Structure 1
């Protein structure tokens, strides 16, 4: 993880670094406190109604405004951490030996400091959130006995503890990272620190909370990447970094998609909580309008950047003052927007939207009016904002790569395209059709979705050869040029984590062992009530399946070369354990997650134990379908390997005039003479 420190010029280097640290600290604190001030003002508008609706005593002004201020400052720090890690990972290239250059080194150190500040704010939020929920003054809450007792009873306190843990891990990792590859890990951990708060708040309860939570995840990540990336690029341009034109161009592309994600997800999240009429009649609606206005201003500034300042910077790299000035204005508007967002999260949604909802709607976010039928599975759709959108994006990006190859006259097998599109379509259907709608409510339907996401979708995606397509469609950076997406993919394939995960034993244990761990250890019963758990399960199903089938039937380049015979052995050695799992599930005497499924109070009668046995039968039977596909794929790959070897032998024979064959014949002739 560590290596030699990046080279910094000796003369005036220390003074320059000290000056830049002062600028970074000043801009970060100014942004944080501006966001905090806006959050305090917004909170003051709705503090009384929030306390009244909560039905608890007023905890005092320290808690009321402290929650808003600390949250706003912390979220700005989180944005700086994420943006700086993103900058070091993808906006500027490392040195030739993989060690971060000066700009990347500075950015990853900023990410470490910002993550530490985010962790401190999260720790401060633990007693503040307990005081806010209980109505007790902060001085009472801070007593150790009260703090320990209340921690287990207040969900917000646990949310902030998890946030602090992820932020501290991100800070510690960023502090020791000097090589480029590890910056991606820092970025991932920093993004994970956003997830606890994204899964809490207004969006995590009540009707439609599945849509609200998924849209909030997209909204928070998009806004954080947008602001944090701008912050990092702005500081780099101000310091006159060598790759500032490249960094600004790359950020511009990322910012465009971040704007799109933030806008769409924000509209969806607002409409879940209010009607259009509330925009002009309620404080919550007025704050939504203010936030939308701020986002429009940010979008306009971004468009101006793309048209004027970025173009000018590309034409005159030394002239950066215009970009810096507009960037500073944009950062300040971002700080105001973050403050509005925090104040909005502290403001009760319109009272007219509060209504009695059924138990199943409260638990999974939507109503289910009848038992699953073929018609409901096929036509009763509820679009999944995360996995449904991912399926569409994957299909579009893949087709763009195919079109790029065709335009330059290169061939790409139609079968691979068909396999990939079918895999994306199946992912969309599994998560957004009636199958996805009934999956959280019935164990048997959940098992169909599980088997589809771990057994069928990965097989189709792997047969699509996306890595090979990307390596052929993306242009190489060229000697002496900074690495781009093609080089990033190659580096990821040959990295140490990839070699570890593609070890046959590791991949098989992750794929098959997770079945037993999830359903037969009590883990499923513990996590199934939580929306976050369903998201993580879906991610695990697809990723673990893709990893296993990439090793077994993958046509993409892999860190490990496995012979067809070894691949067949891996399949034959792993799939029986999958069949045993289905049998074990059918023979289980207790109902898995019984309290959860009974608590849904579905409007029809069915036996949970019988439904579980059906789920076990599905798990046992569905293993046969991918087995047939795998066998066919292995036979085809085996035949093609023999054909390639034969062609190589023929070409060599032409070059050396059958030297090997002549030598072999001479050996036989010599043996005959000896007889």
Structure 2
């Protein structure tokens, strides 16, 4: 597989090397660099796919043992991950001098000289991306080598995912106009392709070795592969259309390579369709499962994948034709597109640019939630309409904050960025939390059943009750992350450092969503939580966060230092813009829009408190009705017993005067009666 990918990359490079040098405008660095870049890239990316697929296999495709340790199949898969991620790290390190040589035109021998390598490293952005790739891949390899328990597979999977990100953020997709769409589509493309190809190889090896959960692993992989096929196809088309016009598809070298890669994708998709219809059914046969049929089809599909990865490596070596002709403005070079004028209400509402990451996430979240509600209704169970409305409004708010005019103007204006930030932190999480997604999932997803391997429902429960969930939902941790990130990001100078990078905007949006969701899940969440928190503690968390958040908005309005001044000036806005005034508007937005949701949350918390007391009272009344007021009768009997014991307890035999008076009184009374 590695050899096929390397050969395909070398052949594509041989056909496009002259065109690449002409479009890039740099001298030929020599055959070692010309062919080393695609070959090392192909081998490295195939290794990354295998490592990612192995971690995914161990985490989701086969169940662990009862004690939480990996079973035989999961252990072998995670060892595959160790070897593959180690190769990926070595390839990434090798790509640093190769990339510098390719960009500068110096031979690889000259580039490897220490003084030249150190000087050029700071000037070539792609070299830094490859170093980060090596770091993440090496960390994943180290953990995979030591991992024995199932829980660590998720950490390894996350590190393997992060090792794929620098490749998506570097190269042609990160430069020129439309690079925001190109980069987002490439992120989806690379991750889906790695899961599809890497998962197939590990499942093939597991099935060939007669793994215990062979049928389960193939079925789970088949579901994942189906959605990966859709993501790879759509994202690949979007990325190609951003990089070149469709009429250049058959008239340019870049376009012909795209056609070759698309052909490989179609063949792989066709083989995947045969898997779903024929080979999986044959594999499930109880009498004589035809394992060889699945193995043969999977092996052919892997070869096709290797060819596709080789085409992708060669494609990364060939500049798109539009890079040589397009005149890109400073604003389009920075954020990926131009803005025609200042933000108006109409532009903020109707000037859309769909965000492939968060916009797609909003649509998928809405569709999955509605499917869960439909599943409950289909079997006769009810689900509160208010929760459905809250979730859909949360998804709509996420779509508006990232894909409407707010998302379009956010990278170019601090005030609009702050408005989108407040929506992602204060509004979207509140609505999503009130939707109760985990409660819906636990009710809609059927349990695995006794003796069966764990499924999604059991994974959710395991995550909720894990010690890591208890740590991240601790009130102190939640408040520090929720409020402290405002100060560190904007007043601590971090925003100035990261604002120039597209990856930073993606991470900021993700951080806003997660920190807000954790905070509101703690204080008003209706889903089960990892730790029990009293209403008094929740109210204290909200009251404690209010003044810090208000002070941040005021401090932002009063500060005289301009945040990210050089970045905003480099955009060269086509309209007159006062950066100081825009920053004060952003501070006012942070102060005004931040306090209102927190007050609403505090009121909602008080309402929940009252409703819980009412539920407790009704539960007690029902219990007493069933027991015929047994608890009340027991309490009354206790009071009667105490009342009957009172005279004896108050009698004082040592008081002789009182006892004699009582005796005389009784004697007198007796004589009168006689």
- Alignment partner, residue 430 of structure 1: 401
Is 2:633 the counterpart of 1:639?
no
**Matching of residues 508-523 of structure 1 within 5 Å:** 508-523=479-494
Q: Say which of 322, 337, 340 aligns to 1:369.
A: 340
Distance in 2 between the 1:575 and 1:177 partners?
Answer: 42
Distance in 2 between the 1:592 and 1:584 partners?
Answer: 13
Distance in 2 between the 1:285 and 1:60 partners?
Answer: 25
Structure with greater Cα Rg: 2
Distance in 1 between the 2:228 and 2:638 partners?
Answer: 70
CA contact (8 A) 2:279 2:294 kept: yes
Is 2:604 the counterpart of 1:628?
no
- Alignment partner, residue 247 of structure 2: 277
- What secondary structure does 1:194 align onto? helix
Give the stretch that moved more between structures: 475-484 or 617-626. Answer: 617-626
- Alignment partner, residue 488 of structure 1: 459
- What secondary structure does 1:303 align onto? helix
- Alignment partner, residue 364 of structure 2: 393
Distance in 2 between the 1:396 and 1:650 partners?
Answer: 41
Distance in 1 between the 2:583 and 2:529 partners?
Answer: 38
Distance in 1 between the 2:7 and 2:68 partners?
Answer: 42
- Alignment partner, residue 580 of structure 2: 609
Q: Deviations over 1:608-667 (max 9, x none)?
A: 001101100110011232123312321232122112211332233234433332343344
Q: Say which of 532, 549, 566 aligns to 2:503.
A: 532
Q: Deviations over 1:40-89 (max 9, x none)?
A: 11111121222233332211101110111001000000000000110000
- Alignment partner, residue 277 of structure 2: 307
After TM superposition, the score normalised by the length of structure 2 is: 0.94
- Alignment partner, residue 69 of structure 1: 39
Distance 1:593 1:352, change over 3 A: closer
Q: CA deviation at 1:143?
A: 1.5
Distance in 1 between the 2:600 and 2:228 partners?
Answer: 39
Question: What is the count of residue pairs matched by the alignment?
Answer: 645
- Alignment partner, residue 600 of structure 1: 571
Is 2:311 the counterpart of 1:340?
yes
Q: Specify every segment of 5 or more residues in structure 1 that has no aligned partner in the other structure, as ranges.
A: 1-30
Distance in 2 between the 1:464 and 1:352 partners?
Answer: 46
Is 2:125 the counterpart of 1:162?
no
Q: Deviations over 1:16-42 (max 9, x none)?
A: xxxxxxxxxxxxxxx112111111111
Q: Say which of 319, 322, 332 aligns to 2:293.
A: 322
Distance in 2 between the 1:327 and 1:629 partners?
Answer: 55
Give the stretch that moved more between structures: 345-354 or 229-238. Answer: 345-354
CA contact (8 A) 1:123 1:160 kept: yes
Is 2:152 the counterpart of 1:152?
no
Distance in 1 between the 2:629 and 2:544 partners?
Answer: 42
Distance in 1 between the 2:68 and 2:563 partners?
Answer: 49
- Alignment partner, residue 421 of structure 2: 450
CA contact (8 A) 1:273 1:353 kept: no
Q: Say which of 615, 621, 625 aligns to 1:654.
A: 625
CA contact (8 A) 2:348 2:404 kept: yes
- Alignment partner, residue 17 of structure 2: 47
Q: Deviations over 1:377-404 (max 9, x none)?
A: 1111111011000000000000000011
- Alignment partner, residue 578 of structure 1: 549
Q: Deviations over 1:413-444 (max 9, x none)?
A: 00000000000000001100011100000000
How large is the Cα RMSD of the aligned pairs?
A: 1.3
Distance in 1 between the 2:590 and 2:643 partners?
Answer: 62
CA contact (8 A) 2:181 2:239 kept: yes
- Alignment partner, residue 359 of structure 1: 330
- Alignment partner, residue 144 of structure 2: 174
Is 2:219 the counterpart of 1:235?
no
Distance in 2 between the 1:510 and 1:431 partners?
Answer: 22
Is 2:477 the counterpart of 1:506?
yes
Q: Deviations over 1:343-390 (max 9, x none)?
A: 011112124873112111111001100000010011111110110000
CA contact (8 A) 1:274 1:353 kept: no
Q: CA deviation at 1:332?
A: 0.6
CA contact (8 A) 2:549 2:595 kept: no
